[in-house]
Structure 1
Amino acid sequence: MDRCASVLLAFPPRGDLTDNETYHKAASAHIHRLSKMLKEQSRELVAFSTELFNVLDPAVHSLSYLTILNALMFPSLPADIPQEFVLEKLVTFMMAFDGRQCRYAGLPLLETMEAVGSGRLLPPSVAVEALATAILKLDPSGTMLTSSHLLLASLAYNTDNIQPALPVIDKDIVFYPGMANHENAQYQCDPGLSSASYISRGTGLTKVLKSSMVLEYDLVCGMTYCARQEWDKARAAFERVVTFPTKDGGCSKIMVDGFKKWILVSLLSQGKHSTTPPYTTASTIKTLEVLGRNYVDLAAAFVTDDVQLFKLEADNQQQVWLEDGNAGLVKEVVASYQKWRVLSLQKIYTKISIAEIRLQTKSAETGAVLNKDEDVEALIQSMIIEGMLKGVIEKNDDGTKFLAFLSPTAHPSEQEFQRELKHTAAKLQELTPIFDATNLRLATSREFIKWAVKENKRDKSNDAQDPTLGFDAQIDDEDLMGGLPAN
């Protein structure tokens, strides 16, 4: 045991490890010793695991702590050690390990995260929180999509443990494994690196993701937001599926599924069928609209005041909604129809009586006006509480109630403005390594180099022209996700 302990406690060594080169050499040497120990002394690590865990701090001796966990967990949990003991140490490690140190952990860390993400070892609520915490410890920016993200999103959605996963899935993804023109950093311990410089298949911290897996992640994220009725976030997630770069205008089944859900949540978040961004492939959208014709027709009827037409579209395609797994979303859309008709009145009125609203709007659930003014008032109050409507209900001296629409914009206070400035400055600071990594990747891309050479040969008479014009046109759609294996 003493021999094992001396190796396990050897890192981090005493002294200043702020220098990246010194840290890198020490960590690399330690990993080499731990790998050899795991192969040659695995039984000893298991036999003395209790004593060894007692002398190790997972936040300080993260690599060593992980080595003992690997000896205990793989290929299977030992029969002679209580499972509760191992799982307790597993959770402790996932919640406390040093992210900088574990950049060197490679495959052992990935296997541990996959074991947690499988949902077979820990209760789902514990597993989701532990895995989300581990992902952000390894990449605090959350900008790198990894194979662990897919496990987390699926486990959180399928077990309805969404809240602990939100700190991860709320992050904006910028980098993907296997991107072209992106090499691993010389010293992966450098705190200033972007996550794409140390999380890759080469470092063992993620598996390579196929394009279908990226689509699946965004689709699951969208459904996760739907479960929380966060329609704006759901729309953005499904839009990433719909606008995913494709070759020759093709589209996959996942894209078709995402397109159908995207239309429905667009109605819920915006009250209309969203227009696709200008970079969307026209031929792909045309194909999606043909395959999702029922949803396009439903959206067209939704924006009209003809409640019978909309109700007919919704009712006649019930089997389609069920087969697509969208019956619940369509039900939400039907319930929101009258709310959006109420909102449309603010284009005409600044103030309107509740009785008049009842006469001018109808419920798509019944196809008729609501029975009482009180029902309309309750509907409006729910819209105000949800943040969907900015307005107040006022009462005249004669007892008549009115809805007064409020201006959607309000001037922030000086304190609110200062907080917003600080928040913006912090976000810009976080974007610096992302910008540097993206700029480096662009500068070393084949397409950019070809464009730069061509620009150097341009006639001097064109010097006044915008030097960035024309570069975008030289990049094919399928190059946008360069390096991702095709489905």
Structure 2
Amino acid sequence: MDPALATFIQTHLVKLAELIKEPPLPLDQYGAQLLELIDPEVNSLSYMAVLHTLLLPNVTGPREVILEKLVKFLLGFDPRQIRYAGSHLLEILTLVCGGSILPPSVAVEAVSTAILKIDPAGAMFTSSHLQLARLAYSTNNIDPALKVIEKNIVFYPGMANWKKPSMLCDMTLSPSVYIHKETGFTNPVKAASVLEYDMLAGMMFCSKRDWTKAHAAFERVVSYPTRDGGCSKIMAEAYKKWVLVSLLFKGKLVPLPLYTGPAAAKNYQTLGKPYKDVGSLFDTTNAGELRTEVEKSNQIWQEDNNVGLIQEVLSAYQEWQIKNLQNIYSKVSIAEIRQQTKSAQTGSILSSDDDIEALIRNMIISNSLKGVIEKNDDGTVFLTFLPASTALSEAEFAQEMTKTAVQLKALDPIFKATNERLGTSREYIKHMIKEQKRAADKSELDPTMGFESHVDDEDLMGGVMSTT
């Protein structure tokens, strides 16, 4: 990276600040015309400087024209230049996420695009992530936000060992290096913000019936480490949803992650008892008991805003019974399926073979069941279960390998930053000193031990469990 480029950008920023402070012409009258002369993709800093002045604290000038320029900027700015004006971009994103300056559908799309232009890997959490999630969920504009929400968060603002890079314009930098409260791209983030974000993400995935991702999002909330080892209100709410989603995702009640805090796990057993009772019956053939258990706690589902998820669970009960039949059969008649499965919505078997066949066809169409419906010469209709996955063709395999290689390359700066952060942490250094001393002591006693040496659990957790 040429240092002259960084110097040029800094000089340009100084001149822009002077120009905006004392413009030769009033920007409220001529700002929109000035934007017509600037290309937001080429001169992003100049464009944003004028745009920021026209938008904040209030929109000045022709409103429709300025808002059109705003959208054009957010969709097309040069991310390299914008690294030098993070605070101005954050103020613009905050304004847009307010939901009053642009139509929500446009605002969500524009902010989502801007976030990923700054950090294509989507690995760094910022205050704009939570603002985006709130706007997307509250206005039901979920689809355009998913490209951000689906990204795996690796870094958070305020993490230790941050140091200012020599050149912000270095495009090989990890997002944790140039996206920081010191560079202005984010406000400080508290634990409550992270929990709310994952909670909203889980609810958005639920609205799309993406139970796999919803389960993972709620699980992040449920297992979040707390200072006193207990659980907050939002963690308890997430646990209830996590139980229901686990039934939809796995077909049964799953145990809490091993890394869940003991005190939190104990609270969940009490606070989530009605949900656990439903979960315990889901993996049985007692459809009537499940229906009764659900009806008994209708008031609880309403108070917890989980009526929709409960209905999804009742609907999925018979579907999971059908899917579990593939553990016994490779091929089974529709008539047998009707006799062996029941609906939790009615507590009994379906009234006709046509009803069960229609249910199975819908499952196949939605890809929740791998199978085909066939008819024998005697007219008997069968369901044949298919393998969960089929072998890829050579071309498909090559395409998957190329896609994986691109993903791994994108993760390289993240890996390097994580490795550096680990290598300079106090806990890791203490652990390495202990390991070197242990190795020296053991080599004196038995030089043949080599790989047989092990690390005590206490040492592995040193500095992790007791740092809060």
Q: What TM-score results when the alignment is normalised by the length of structure 2?
A: 0.95
Does residue 410 of structure 2 align to residue 457 of structure 1?
no
Output the CA distance in 2 between the equivalents of 1:140 and 1:467: 42
Partner of 2:328: 348
Q: CA offsets, 1:399-440, max 9 Å, x none?
A: 111111122232221112111111111111111101000000
**Corresponding letter in the other structure for 1:35:** A
**Equivalent in the alignment of 2:463:** 475
1:385 corresponds in structure 2 to 365
How many angstroms does 1:466 deviate by?
A: 7.1
| Letter matched to residue 57 of structure 1 | D
Task: Compute the displacement of 1:43 (Å).
Answer: 6.8
> Residue 8 of structure 1 aligns with which residue?
none
Aligned partner (choices 132, 141, 159) of residue 112 of structure 2 = 132
Q: Distance in 1 between matches of 2:454 and 2:160?
A: 21
Secondary structure class of the residue paired with 1:402: strand
SS of residue matched to 1:457: helix
- Quick check: 438-447 or 418-427, which moved more? 418-427
Check if 1:213 corresponds to 2:193. Answer: yes
C-alpha deviations, 1:43-73, integer Å up to 9, x for none?
A: 7333321332122110011111111111111
**1:68 pairs with one of 45, 50, 68:** 50
* Contact 2:218-2:238 within 8 A present in 1 as well: yes
Any residues of structure 2 matched to 1:223-372 within 5 Å, and which?
Answer: 223-372=203-352
For 1:284 and 1:198, how far apart are their aligned partners in 2? 35
Residue 485 (structure 1) aligns with: none
Runs of 4+ deviating beyond 6 Å: none
CA distance in 1, matches of 2:367, 2:466: 40
Instruction: Report the count of equivalent residues.
Output: 460
Q: Who is 1:51 aligned against?
A: 33
Inter-partner Cα distance in structure 2 for 1:211 and 1:434: 22
* Letter of the structure 2 residue corresponding to residue 366 of structure 1: T
Q: Does structure 1 retain, via aligned residues, the 8 Å contact 2:230–2:261?
A: no
Q: Does 1:96 find its partner at 2:76?
A: yes
Native 8 Å contact 2:32 2:62 kept in 1? no
Q: Tell me, in whole angstroms, the C-alpha distance in 1 between the residues paired with 2:434 and 2:389.
A: 48
The 3-state SS of whatever aligns with 1:150 is helix
**What letter matches 1:207 in structure 2?**
N
Alignment of 1:19-58 (within 5 A): 19=2, 21-41=3-23, 44-58=26-40
Per mean C-alpha deviation after superposition, the further-off stretch among 215-224 and 417-426 is: 417-426
Name stretches of at least 5 consecutive residues in structure 1 with no aligned partner: 1-17, 483-487
**Pairing of 1:173-192 with structure 2 (within 5 A):** 173-192=153-172
Give unmatched runs, 5+ long, in structure 2. Answer: 444-448
What is the TM-score when the length of structure 1 is the normalising length? 0.91
Which letter does structure 2 place at the counterpart of 1:251? C
> 1:115, 1:121 within 8 Å by CA — same for their partners in 2?
yes
Deviations 1:269-297 (A, max 9, x none): 11012333332223322222221111111
Give 1:285's aligned amino acid: A
1:122 aligns with 2:122: no
Instruction: Name the counterpart of 1:438.
Output: 418
Higher relative contact order (CA 8 A, sep 6+): 1
In 2, the alpha carbon distance for the partners of 1:256 and 1:236 equals 16
Superposed displacement of residue 159, structure 1:
1.0
Q: Which amino acid aligns with 2:35?
A: F
Alpha-carbon separation, structure 2, partners of 1:241 and 1:394 = 44
SS at match of 2:79: coil
Aligned equivalents of 1:42, 1:76: Cα separation in 2: 21
- Aligned-pair Cα RMSD in Å: 1.7
> The residue matched to 2:358 in structure 1 has which SS?
helix
Q: Aligned partners of 1:357 and 1:285: how far apart in 2?
A: 38
